[in-house]
A and B are shown apart, each in its own frame.
Chain A
């Protein structure tokens, strides 16, 4: 606790107490650090966001930017140590998840919040039949009999569009393809009617045609059940298709947050703009692909000021020394000194110019 308090600049204290009725998940100033032999990694460093009931939030960012750790922290699935949640609050309805005991958390997992993992190939236990795995969740939470749970498993398989579920339910994971297994994972997640589904790159391991099917499936089940969805992905195409709100993460921090139109059409943060520009497109055949220069900041040794400063094309004087993190939800749209006055500056450059994107011009949507 000391380490976190000492190294993190104290942000303005978030309001205490349960969030309003329409907010399902409210994460406030979450910091998850890993104490490793090589040093301290601030995997998640002051992340705040909320998801309204039935809404979809997309979380995007490069590998290692803290997307999955955020999700795991919400589920409290990280091992402590090495992980430590240094500060923050996670409100699910009127329940604060970080404060409740593990036994109580177990009734939240799978029941109120369900998670879909990236690797359908390894997320199912090879020694259990599909039916056993789905009905286990149901039996743990809904306290159904073995027989009823089995029927429920068949039901859920039907829901996720698996043909002849009565036969499939008896099969083992190795008898199914990747797409099928991901459907099974979704069936498992849905079986207890969760209020929130966290999907951690659910389509990354699948081939493109199956990806579309799985996304479509996620969308329909979400509409049917009214569950909220937190969709973690690094595919901006998926974001454009699936979500209402987007949160862009970089090196453990939220750099930009907004509706999907705002973020994709008028990217405020140079990192978001870089991400958008690096999507390959048919029209630019023969040219070099756009990349964001440099590599993700070394997690053991983050820059003092803005984490993105070393790679940023718009870097100016305050960037290397001053941290532009967004402290309050109503504040500037991006954690960037282009959009809010840096210490010693009276106005922010882009605000002064009346620009709508980070580069000041039109957004470079491929």
Chain B
């Protein structure tokens, strides 16, 4: 109490400010100046330092994917003079070094971003959409719908993943990136479907779902308008992981030469080209595409975490 009495001026100023910035509430309940849901989300996201770092990293990669090939076009005929048998090591002029023929690794990475990021994002979109639809229907309707859909999911998960990816890539792939996206997308939704189903099973018991039914809202609208937004947090995290996984998967499949045709440039094909050269000690050739993958994946994961926390309307602002 004494502490308050000491400094009446500050208090008066504070009170004046409060009065000016916020109109007096006209009912009994304590009310704060309402912020829009997006403002709140942004505020929570900003506080998540790792998420900020992650979005900057991923943002840079997206920029690289969009503008990289324009600024640093990859020209296979633009050959530097090779001074060492495995290619030139990183130097101020060629910061990522060159391959054995003298072609710039930096240009390779800059151009590979476009395909790699695109594969990650498109795969995520296909898998998330399918997973949400299947999981939501199974979790919401339960019973026969649930068991038939989930048995199908079990079947999908029972097939060895890498095996089926490689077989599908070899059979349908023919090196077309679009087909590869489709294959990845179609094969990676079952995990997400299970997650969504589990979320829906618990959300279905919520009173507001009952309340929505009592108001006469239809099934599909309840599932996708009322329940889905409440399940978005875990779904977003899972979706970001899918982007990361698809980028890694592309690298892996391309490395084995089952992926996109080697004349197309992605981080995966960049890695594939470095096959067999490591032994010569030219670490920079696989290192920089590998780092590009790692940085993107880490960035995406951090970002997903932040988005999840930011979108939770019950979280403290």
Chain A residues in the interface with B (C-beta under 8 A): 75, 77, 79, 106-111, 114-115, 117, 119, 122-129, 136-137, 140-141, 162-164, 167, 170-172, 174-177, 180, 185, 188
B34 touching A127, Cβ below 8 Å: no
Q: What residues of chain B lie closer than 8 Å to A77, measured between beta carbons? A: 210, 213-214
CB nearest to B222 among chain A residues: A125
- Per DSSP, are chain B's interface residues mostly helix, strand or loop, or mixed? loop
Q: Which of B132-174 contact A (CB under 8 A)?
A: 142
CB-CB nearest in chain B for A167: B34
Question: Which A residues are in CB contact (< 8 Å) with B207?
Answer: 117, 119, 122-123
The CA of A162 and the CA of B230, in the complex, are separated in Å by 27
A residues less than 8 Å from B313 (CB atoms)? 126-127, 172, 174
| Proximity string of chain B (283-316) to chain A, C-beta cutoff 8 Å, 1 when within and 0 when not | 0000000000000000000000000000001100
Known: A164-B26, A172-B37, A175-B34. A127 touches B229 (CB 8 A): yes
Tally chain B residues at the interface, Cβ within 8 Å: 25
Chain A positions within 8 Å of B229 at CB level:
125, 127-128
Contact pick for A126, options B26, B213, B230, CB 8 Å: B230
Residues from chain B with a CB closer than 8 A to the CB of A115 are: 211, 214
CB distance from B149 to the nearest CB of A (A): 18
A164 touches B217 (CB 8 A): no
Q: Is B206 an interface residue (CB 8 A)?
A: yes
Is B216 positioned at the interface, with any CB of A under 8 Å from its CB? yes
| Residue in B27, B210, B211, B215 whose beta carbon sits within 8 Å of that of A140 in the complex | B215
**A124/B29 contact (C-beta < 8 A), A109-B214, A141-B216 known:** no
Q: Is the CB of A171 within 8 A of B29?
A: no
A129–B208 alpha-carbon span in the complex (Å): 13
Q: Report how far A176 CA is from B27 CA in the complex, Å.
A: 12
A137 to chain B: closest residue by CB = B215
Given A109-B215, A117-B211, A137-B215: A122 touches B206 (CB 8 Å cut-off): yes
Query: Could you list 5 further interchain pairs (A-B, Cβ under 8 angstroms) beyond the known A122-B206, A137-B216, A180-B29?
Result: A109-B213, A114-B215, A117-B214, A125-B226, A129-B37
- Contact across chains for A106 and B216 when beta carbons are under 8 A apart: yes
Nearest CB of chain B from residue A43's CB, rounded to whole Å: 16
Asked if A110 meets B34 with Cβ closer than 8 Å, knowing A172-B313, A174-B313, the reply is: no
Task: Please give, as numbers and ranges, the residues of chain A lying within 8 Å of B26 by CB-CB distance.
Answer: 163-164
A257–chain B nearest beta-carbon distance, Å? 26
Q: Are A110 and B216 in contact (CB under 8 A)?
A: yes
Known: A126-B230, A127-B230. A185 touches B211 (CB 8 A): yes
Contact A188 B215 (CB under 8 A): yes
Query: Can you list the 7 inter-chain pairs with the closest CB atoms, starting with the nearest?
Result: A163-B27, A110-B216, A110-B215, A109-B216, A127-B229, A122-B207, A115-B214
